[in-house]
Structure 1
Amino acid sequence: MYFDPAVSKKPAPFSFSPFKSMVVPRPIGWISTISEDGVPNLAPFSFFNAIAEDPPMLAFSPNGYHEEGGRKDTLQNITETKEFVYNLVGFDMANQMNATSGPVPHGEDEMVVAGLAAAPCEKVKPPRVRDAAASFECELHQIIDLPAGSKGSPNSLVIGRVIGIHVRDDVITEEGRIDIRKIRPLARLGYMDYSVVDDFFTLDRPPGGGMEQPPPVKSS
């Protein structure tokens, strides 16, 4: 079948919009910020990903309004402070992540609500989730206003530059790689569904297939 989402987001036979159920899996952007008054905030975002490696850049979309009206605390805090932290969500933190997605009043600390311990960062003021397998300290690069939703709700794209990375020692292998099976990162699917990365396979690229190659060794 074919349909135009501008005409209908869920034409028959769909009972829900299939859009988010087919652009999957999506990493969960568990974003911590802090207000100008020093109040921490932590919230998960399903529209999130890495967008560049050199320099490392991340992007996420804090769409819609806060339940009490106005901009979401995450977007407001980043607008004011120009900083945020991405915390990697492992399977062991699924319930805490879900708790931080709930309707929390303005000015209330979601880390306290979810029973999470905070830890200071090196270069930015927002705290990180202490027990997360990894946390990326980010400075704001740009906020882009996207087209508003069909009911007028705002959509934004926040782009950040990674300026510091914390990695838990126990997820680093002796070969100097990240052991993804120890982290078991969560991914967002459609509806209320999630997935977990606990297995993978490897495909080597064809010769000259776009991987950065080391410079040739010059003979003496």
Structure 2
Amino acid sequence: MFDSIRRTAQRLKASKSGNAALLVALGLPVLIGSSGLAVDVSQWYMWKQELQFAADQAALAGAWARSSTTTQNDYQTRARQEFTANLATTRGNTTTPSVSLGNYNGGTNNAVRVTASASKALPFTAFLTGRSATVAVTARATFSMSSSYNACILSVNPTDNRSAIFGNAITGGSDCGVGALSTGTQAIVETGDSEVQLGDIVSAGGIEDTFSNNGTIHEFVDGLSDPYAELTAPSSAG
């Protein structure tokens, strides 16, 4: 009996028929597993990209809201609205994003931080682990409070020094503000000792120090714009 079993085993050992089927059978689990993992990893990557973009946009929306006094208290609502608006594939599988203030570059509460995650059972990994797959993202955007100035007297020349000159013969006041768009180092100057009150004195360039008695100096201010840029200058010819 044992001899018969031994002879059968030797014949099986020497036989080469069915090798391909055996190799396929041995490699099939690896093939299926790698294919399933590839599909799940692709899904994770797509989730990550979508969630990160939504979180980035949410952080920017929150920072934009915080930069204005009229909307700074609504930054969480605006951030969450922007987050939801940018979801597609992950919609319905995401957590409500956490929106909070943080510190950036030595400042205090000058950045908006958004964190969110998405969870869903994927075919292959859920079969192996029995758990849903989770992808988490974080985004942060910083902001600074903007200032706005109004000037009822405005010099629009972009480069000249002495683009606005005030002399001691001027009396009265102009508390509605004075501005100069010039980037010159002496964009607004004073001749004599004028006592006229000007309110905010704003310039893209420099302002003579003596104006500190005439109002509040704001010099070398970025982002000043010409409200009359699109108007056609009147002709002296009539």
Q: Larger relative contact order (C-alpha < 8 A, sep ≥ 6)?
A: 1
Task: Bin the TM-score by the shorter chain.
Answer: under 0.3
| Structure exhibiting the larger radius of gyration computed from Cα positions | 2
Higher relative helix content: 2
Please, what TM-score do these two structures have when normalized by structure 1? Answer: 0.19
Higher normalized strand content (fraction of residues)? 1
